[in-house]
Amino acid sequence: MKHLIKSVLAEDYNRVLDVAKVLALDYQIKVYILPEINARERILRGLFGLSIDNGYTPDIMIDRGVFIDVKSSLIIDKLSHNASKASRQSAFACITNHRLPLNVNQLDDYAKRVFRGEAYDKDEVFFFIDGNIYKKTKDNLGL
């Protein structure tokens, strides 16, 4: 079997690592950064709880079958689109401010964009802003 390990030199790796560290500390849980697991490796994907119907591999696993995909938009209008990509990977979205300045005071607005957007089918969305993780749910927004 051949797996593409996330390159420690890639900008994406550092964003994922930042989120993983804070999740582990804040929630006192084990957090696993996943390698790319090919769609043809159905048994291995099944062992991780990954979908065997598509080849997408989320960035982080916090429990077997519970995934988070880290997304860093370049423009605010793409928040919903990026979150929908995470959803297609059977993962919760964690949107970071690594590439786009996000304001903590506007988290409810950002979350509403995600929940009302294209195809995000989760009840929770995470935001990573300036080294902190924030979780928003449909329930706490009245959606």
What is each CA distance from 73 to 15, 35, 39, 68, 81, in whole angstroms?
Answer: 12, 22, 26, 16, 9
Q: Is residue 18 part of a domain?
A: yes
**Domain of 89, in residue numbers:** 11-141
Q: What is the pLDDT of residue 104?
A: 96
Q: Is residue 25 part of a domain?
A: yes
Q: How many angstroms separate the CA atoms of 5 and 3, rounded?
A: 6
Q: Mind listing the pLDDT tens digit for each residue in 74-112?
A: 999 899 999 999 998 889 999 999 999 999 999 999 999
| Number of domains present in the structure of the chain | 1
Q: Mind listing the pLDDT tens digit for each residue in 122-131?
A: 999 999 999 9
Helix (H/G/I), strand (E/B), else coil: 25: helix
Q: Quick one: tokens of 25? A: 């500390």
Q: Is residue 19 part of a domain?
A: yes
Q: What is the pLDDT of residue 95?
A: 97
pTM of the model: 0.89
Q: Is residue 3 part of a domain?
A: no
DSSP-assigned letters across all residues of 64-118: TTEEEEEE--SSGGGHHHHHHHHHHTT-EEEEESSSS---GGGHHHHHHHHHTSS
Q: Mind listing the pLDDT tens digit for each residue in 28-70?
A: 999 999 888 888 888 888 888 888 777 788 999 998 778 999 9
